[in-house]
Amino acid sequence: MRADRVFAYGAAAGLLGDLFLGDPRRGHPVAVFGRAAAAVERVLWRDHRGWGALHTAVCAGGAVALGALVTRAARTSPAASVVLTGAATWAVVGGTSLAREARGIGRALEAGDVEAARARLPHLCGRDPQALDADGIARAVVESVAENTSDAVVGALVWGAVGGVPGLVGFRAVNTLDAMVGHKSAKYRRYGWASARLDDVMGWPGARLTALLAAAAGSDRRGALRAWRADAARHPSPNAGPVEAAFAGALGVRLGGTLSYGGRIEHRPVLGGDAGRAVALHDIERAVRLSRQVGWLALGVCVAGRLLTGRRAS
């Protein structure tokens, strides 16, 4: 079986597995990788970019090498190759967990239990929940759903289409490293520099595809494209900017503004402009539905692109 068909069948199976099974409660492969990366960090950490780059190379390179080895071992059996691709896709995408956490916070807010919503928010993003009221929590959830649609679903599918199982696990490894050491704290400002920059590079195509598909699937296509064009470059993240701006325009809301991370106050530009309104509670469910649509559309685009390049190569 050709590699393009292996990806098509496996990626579809993996996304369906995520839809119906979600993430395992224990022993998740990403959590296992995180523990291994933390062990490497304990050995290598120095307040130096070079040591951080070595940490990134060891962890991300090891994940890609392992993916390549198991892919080669399964190559003689088309069925095994499809199963492996499906399992890897299921392991690295997180659309169901994203939706579950967002909806859980939404239900807490709907019940008027702001403290419960604050308690759940760290499962979704790194904001300081105590600094947020109900409206601020709802806005944080919508922003996190938008950004993680790219990080947890679309970006993985893009790199799976490009590199198969090594691409899938490599993208998730880099994204996980960025979450662990890529933030601008005193400890990781230099050590996490390589992980953060590599995550920017690998996240670039998935973020643009996510923004484009959000505009296509959203209720206000022109608004999404207008917000993307006008506001994305003002965001401090080169990848979160297009995604959050496109979601803001597609949903007709305003995102961004003053945020608090780890005791650090950030004043970010408003995304969505004058045409958007403040985020309301019901926008959480709208964002989750848009995220789902974008994920399935991304699967179609990535499979079609992989099949097209496979036919040309053959």
pLDDT value of position 22: 87
At a CB cut-off of 8 Å and minimum separation 6, what does 85 contact? 6, 7, 9, 10, 11, 13, 14, 160, 164, 165, 168
Among 98, 123, 114, 144, residue whose Cα is nearest residue 259: 144
Kind and range of the H or E run holding 130: none
> Quick check: 191 and 37 in contact, CB under 8 A?
no
C-alpha span between 160 and 79 (Å, rounded): 18
> What tokens does 256 get?
């961004």
pLDDT value of position 129: 85
> Quick check: 182 and 237 in contact, CB under 8 A?
no
pLDDT value of position 310: 75
Mean pLDDT estimate for the chain: 93
pLDDT value of position 274: 74
Determine the number of helices (DSSP H) and then strands (DSSP E) in the chain.
Answer: 12, 2
pLDDT value of position 153: 97
Q: What single DSSP character describes residue 265?
A: E
pLDDT value of position 98: 96
Q: Which residues in the chain land under pLDDT 50?
A: none
C-alpha span between 294 and 154 (Å, rounded): 8
Q: How do residues 54-102 score in pLDDT, each as one tens digit?
A: 999 999 999 999 999 999 999 999 999 999 999 999 999 999 999 999 9
